[in-house]
Amino acid sequence: MNKPLRRIAIFCGLLVLALLVRDNWLQYVQADSLRTDPKNRRVLIARYSTPRGDIIVDGNPITGSQKTSTDSLNDFAYKRTYKDGAMWAPVTGYASQAFGASQLESIEDGILTGTDDRLFFRNTLNMLTGKQQQGGNVVTTLNAGAQKAAYDGLQKVGGKGAAVALNPQTGAILALASYPSYDPSTFAGNSTSTDSKAWTKLQKSSDPDDPMLNRALRDTYPPGSTFKVVTAAAALENGLYNGADQPTNSPLPYILPDSRTELKNEGDIPCKNAPMRVALQYSCNTVFGKIGADLGKDKMLEEAKKFGFDSEQFTPVRSVTSNFPETMNRPSTALSSIGQFETAATPLQMAMVASAVANDGKLMKPYMVDKLQAPSLDVITQTQPQQLSQPLSSKNAQVLQSMMETVVTDGTGKNAQIPGVTVGGKTGTAQHGLNNSGKPYAWFISYAKLKDGSSPVAVAVVVEDSEANRGDISGGGLAAPIAKNVMEAVINSKK
């Protein structure tokens, strides 16, 4: 080969090599960034060219897909629809052509759109046979009756709040309600005249009540006296007291340690030297504050962490961390032990507390997805219940159960009584705001136990009633009836 031809051959070879390098760079190195580039309309068009799979509750879809009219302004063939969207929004999240997706709609997007790698074989067959790609289903653990009872109860009260129900034996989430809420259908499309306006109205800058906030998972509240259940567990686990009816040597008045500040109780209640059963029945701040101070911050922190405090939970939707302070002096430890100071909890966290007590001390990992299904309804994955921790022994859990059951039979939780069912509970009224100037949060945590000894449901409810008189706000008055209705709905669904 003469010199000019050799140069041309080498040059052409270099061009082919550059083309191969560029092609591999685009197909492998930049594939994900190009696929997710917001300017890549082809991906979005393909995404909305077929109906999404559904999110299932009790065997029925709570989502759907609607055919849209395509034109030069809208080239997306399908958009998401929701049944009882506001009630289910804390579970589903949203899937919007204009604003993306959240919660289950986002986490399980690959299954719902049919693009998940676990569907590769099926999608390959569909491509060969010319069949349209289909999305799979997300089957939840939710109980439709319990969810409706929770949402309707919060809506009836009218204030901001949330409710969570768990199956103590498995950790399955049975209800997850938040109020006020929103309907994801209102901005599922990409119209600037309707969807964008609906989205803007729901933002906190437009609506101070922040309806898109998932209060069950993404907001924390001072738990108030419901935290006394954790403090009682710490006392039993650390051998400070050996039973529910042992005198606690609690003075009245009780002065916070290393201070001159008196820790007061709500009203004239029998708290002097009261055993833990009576102290929980009447919600004695003095008794449980002293227990926390006597145990010290390290033992209290250890017990709180066993219940899930100071850790994120993934259901698979992420729940924010509930807080029990790690740095405290002795007075702050006493206050934290009655759910004040910097103690803060999500409704999910307090449902986990009630659940662990009901399940004889075993805390199960909370989850809301039972299984993922292929379009053929074949099961791709099935969630297996998993123990998260053991906050207290079976013996001590049963002691604490008897105390919580006294709260419902003879104490502040009478509004949660269910005929023929054993109910354990704890009320709470948590102060907040500068100098406690804000409306208190009304809390109630509880569980139901059937005659066979099984406990199918544990519940936590928190309500802020901005319209009520301060003296009328109490966990027993506002939150306990909601919890009762949720528990009854679960029990009735088992019949």
End-to-end Cα distance, the chain? 90
What does 436-478 look like in DSSP terms, one character per residue? G-SPPEEEEEEEEE-TTS---EEEEEEEE-TTS-GGG--IIII
Mean pLDDT, residues 325-345 taken together: 94
Mean pLDDT, residues 138-150 taken together: 98
Is the confidence at residue 58, as pLDDT, over 80? yes
The Cα 337–Cα 317 span in angstroms is: 29
Domain that holds residue 333: 224-368+389-494
Query: pLDDT band at 475, cuts 50/70/90?
Result: confident
pLDDT of residue 227: 97
* CATH number for the domain harbouring residue 487: 3.40.710.10
Is the confidence at residue 121, as pLDDT, over 70? no
Is the confidence at residue 33, as pLDDT, over 80? no
Cα 67 to the center of its chain, rounded Å:
32
Query: pLDDT band at 130, cuts 50/70/90?
Result: low
- Tokens 């013996």, located at residue: 395
Average pLDDT of the residues of the chain: 90
pLDDT in tens, 97-109: 999 999 999 999 9
**Is position 148 within any domain?**
no
- Sign (positive or negative) of CA dihedral 389, 392, 394, 397: negative
The backbone region for 54, taken as left when phi is positive above 0, alpha when psi lies in -120 to 50, beta otherwise, is beta
Helix (H, G, I), strand (E, B) or coil at 149: helix
| Residues catalogued as catalytic | 225
Q: What is the 8-class DSSP label of residue 257?
A: T
**Is position 301 within any domain?**
yes
The Cα 374–Cα 53 span in angstroms is: 9
**Is position 412 within any domain?**
yes
- Sign (positive or negative) of CA dihedral 177, 180, 186, 187: negative
Q: Are strands 422-430 and 369-373 parallel, antiparallel or unpaired?
A: unpaired
Cα 438 to the center of its chain, rounded Å:
25
pLDDT of residue 123: 60
pLDDT in tens, 442-472: 999 999 999 999 999 999 999 986 554 444 4
Q: Buried b / exposed e across 62-72, counting CB within 10 Å, b at 16+?
A: bbbbeebeeee
**Is position 202 within any domain?**
no
pLDDT in tens, 401-431: 999 999 999 999 999 999 999 999 999 987 6
The Cα 306–Cα 294 span in angstroms is: 19
Mean pLDDT, residues 266-276 taken together: 93
pLDDT of residue 435: 47
Q: Return the higher-pLDDT residue of 281 and 77.
A: 281
pLDDT in tens, 169-199: 999 999 999 999 999 999 999 888 899 999 9
**φ, ψ dihedrals at 163, nearest 5°:** -145, 140
Which H or E run contains 145? helix 144-157
Lowest mean pLDDT of 43-47, 298-302, 321-325, name the range.
Answer: 43-47
Q: Are strands 55-57 and 137-140 parallel, antiparallel or unpaired?
A: parallel
**CB-based contact 315:386 (threshold 8 Å):** no
pLDDT in tens, 75-91: 788 899 999 999 999 99
**Is position 373 within any domain?**
no
pLDDT of residue 6: 78
Which H or E run contains 161? strand 160-166
pLDDT of residue 471: 44
Mean pLDDT, residues 23-33 taken together: 69
The Cα 10–Cα 33 span in angstroms is: 33
pLDDT of residue 71: 59
Mean pLDDT, residues 372-382 taken together: 92
Packing angle of the helix pair 228-237, 285-295 (nearest 10 deg): 50
Percentage of the chain lying above the pLDDT 90 cut = 73
- Sign (positive or negative) of CA dihedral 437, 438, 439, 444: negative
The Cα 122–Cα 378 span in angstroms is: 11
Entry pTM = 0.89
The Cα 62–Cα 196 span in angstroms is: 23
The Cα 369–Cα 385 span in angstroms is: 11
The Cα 5–Cα 292 span in angstroms is: 90
Mean pLDDT, residues 282-301 taken together: 96
Q: How many domains does the chain have?
A: 1
- Residues in Cβ contact with 70 at an 8 Å cutoff, skipping those fewer than 6 apart: 76, 77
**Is position 87 within any domain?**
no
**Is position 130 within any domain?**
no
Please give the angle made by the CA atoms of 111, 114 and 118, to the nearest 5 degrees: 65
**Is position 205 within any domain?**
no
